[in-house]
Amino acid sequence: MHDDAILKLRQIFSDEGSIRVITHIDTDGLSSGAIMAQALKKNNQSFWLSTVKQLEDDMLNKLLKEAEKQKWKAIIFLDLGSSKLNKMKEFAEFLPIFIIDHHEIDPLFDSKSLNQNLYFIGCSSYNDEKLSAACLTYLFVKEFDKTNKKLSQLAILGLIGDTLDRNLGKTAQLILEDSKDSGMQVKRGLTVFSSMRPIHKALEFGSNIFIPGVTGNSNGAFSMLRDLGIEIRSPHGYRTMLDLDQHELSRLITTILLRRVNYGNEEIINNIYLIKISSHIWDAREMSSMINACGRLGYSSLAVAFLIGSKRARDKIENVYVKYKHHIIKSLNIINGLDKIIGERYILINAQDSIKDTMIGTIISIMASSFIYKEGTVIIGMAYRKDRKIKISARVVKGKGHGHNVNLDKLLRSIISVTGGEVGGHMNAAGCLITKAKEKEFMDLFGQKMGIEEIKIVA
């Protein structure tokens, strides 16, 4: 499907020099990086992989100068670059550029600009099916070498990291089959925090399924299981979700549904993906949280090392994850105490410097998936960076019908066209970067764009 890009890569592999790989810091980006790293290593390629929070014009200008000095033989962007395709034409003037990304394309980009030095692999190549960047990266390296099929499990991890694992399309199903052939197990069950952890902990820390009185409440989790007559221990230790028999699971599901009657009726039963890395089995949803934790707290290299099988990294990643959960709890408590600008269809939270800019997207995502807010509500979070810029993350609260009429990527682009700044994302999740000088203007324009006339501020 990408014959020209494949031929170009084969040519580059035979040349002298190093390949520069730049990927995003979230689970999808880091999974993409791990896939590409292993494909390059297998072909004895020298490469330098680094991660970024997002591609910014200043960063790209520095990278352009660096590329000229270092004389790399190619640059590969993963889970990044769709919104910067026009800028990438400058790079492609003197070295090959590969962009593998699933985000929405810069609307001003002319596809005719793609040439022998600029290659873009996106979802449009697969009938616009919703695929993660890790899926696209996997499909590309598999097309290059069929034996890369063993990397398919990391593609599914990226899919789960971007919550694209519901209603899989034809291409994603094919990747899933490759994953099963490569050692992944797929079972049906409750999509809680982790099917591999003790039941009470899985219920307490679950954010995919909000359970009133249980989520975030250890005593509530113990109490519910006790009332249901579900033992949390066996002679072999703590029981997991996978240890429950059919009757126990049925009672648990019924109770959760009754407790959630006022919090949305989305499916709480779905596939549980058990990924095998270095002879160890992991619940992919928990693994995704661990990888994302590393990226958000500055341990991206540890995450990639873990994904390619480093036992040393596996021992360290748990500690990072514990630290990350503490950050989340602290940030959620801070959010609860902040003033919020609330309109008929949105909530805007300006955290300023009280929450790390690398955490604001995660916190807004948790809020959007809590089912406390009405379906279709737009939640915007703002956090200061150290360089006098503001990181802005936007999410839409989805329900079973996923019905809303707001495209967040287009909404933010329309505002940024006035305030200036940089933007990228999808319909349901997007982000942008503005200067502090444009803070009030952005907030005012956002309210206007959402069609809100009356705004109230509540704590």
Q: How far apart are CA 199 and CA 312, in angstroms?
A: 27
> For the segment 104-148, what is each residue's pLDDT rounded down to a tens digit?
887 777 766 666 788 999 998 898 899 999 999 999 999 999 999
Query: In the prediction, which pLDDT does 454 show?
Result: 41
* CB 119, CB 98: distance < 8 Å: yes
Q: How far apart are CA 154 and CA 113, in angstroms?
A: 31
How many other CB atoms are there within 10 angstroms of residue 10's CB atom?
12
Write the secondary structure of 277-300 as one string of H (helix), E (strand) and C (coil): ECCEEEEHHHHHHHHHHHHHCCCH
Q: What is the pLDDT of residue 116?
A: 74
Q: Which tokens is 92 given? A: 């492609």
DSSP 142-205: HHH-GGGGGGHHHHHHHHHHTT--SS--HHHHHHHHHHHHTT-EEEEEE--S-TTSBHHHHHHH
Mean pLDDT throughout 279-283? 85
**How many CB atoms are located within 10 Å of the residue 408 CB?**
24
**pLDDT tens, 210-255?**
777 887 788 888 999 999 999 999 888 899 888 888 888 888 888 8
Q: What's this model's pTM, rounded to 2 decimal places?
A: 0.83
Domains, the chain? 3-182 (3.90.1640.30), 187-332 (no CATH), 338-458 (3.10.310.40)
What pLDDT does residue 264 have?
A: 57
Answer yes or no: is pLDDT of 163 > 90. Answer: no
Is 397 a residue whose pLDDT tops 50? Answer: yes
CB 136 within 8 A of CB 102: yes
What pLDDT is stored for residue 189 in this prediction?
78
Give the range among 242-246, 393-397, 411-415, 416-420 with minimum mean pLDDT: 242-246
Model confidence band, residue 156 (pLDDT cutoffs 50, 70, 90): very high
Residue 459 pLDDT: 46
pLDDT of residue 404: 54
> Quick one: what percent of the chain has pLDDT higher than 70?
92
pLDDT (tens digit per residue) in 180-198: 999 999 988 777 767 778 8
Where residue 450 falls among pLDDT bands split at 50, 70, 90?
confident
Q: So what's the pLDDT on residue 39?
A: 96
Q: What is the mean pLDDT of residues 361-389?
A: 87
Q: Is the pLDDT of residue 345 over 70?
A: yes
Is it the case that residue 334 has pLDDT exceeding 80?
A: yes
pLDDT score of 113: 65
- What pLDDT does 98 receive? 95
Q: What is the mean pLDDT of the chain?
A: 86
Average pLDDT over residues 47-64: 88
Higher pLDDT, 419 or 286: 419
What is the per-residue pLDDT for 456?
Answer: 42
Is a pLDDT exceeding 60 seen at residue 458? no
pLDDT-derived band at 20 (thresholds 50, 70, 90) equals: very high
CA-closest candidate to residue 454, choices 337, 374, 345? 345
Q: 285 pLDDT exceeds 90? A: no
User: What Cα–Cα distance (Å) separates residue 27 from each residue in 270, 282, 290, 294, 304?
Assistant: 20, 15, 8, 9, 10
Amino acid present at 396: V
Of 21 and 220, which is predicted with more confidence? 21
* Sign for the pseudo-dihedral over CA of 208, 210, 211, 216: positive
Supply the pLDDT for residue 270: 79
Average pLDDT over residues 264-277: 77
* Averaged pLDDT for residues 383-394: 93
**What confidence category does residue 207 fall into, taking pLDDT thresholds of 50, 70 and 90?**
low
Per-residue DSSP letter, 240: B
Separation of alpha carbons 66 and 68, rounded Å: 5
Q: How confident is the model at residue 453 (pLDDT cuts 50, 70, 90)?
A: very low
Answer yes or no: are the C-beta atoms of 12 and 116 closer than 8 Å. Answer: no
332 vs 441 pLDDT, higher one = 441
Phi and psi at residue 346, to the nearest 5°:
-155, 165
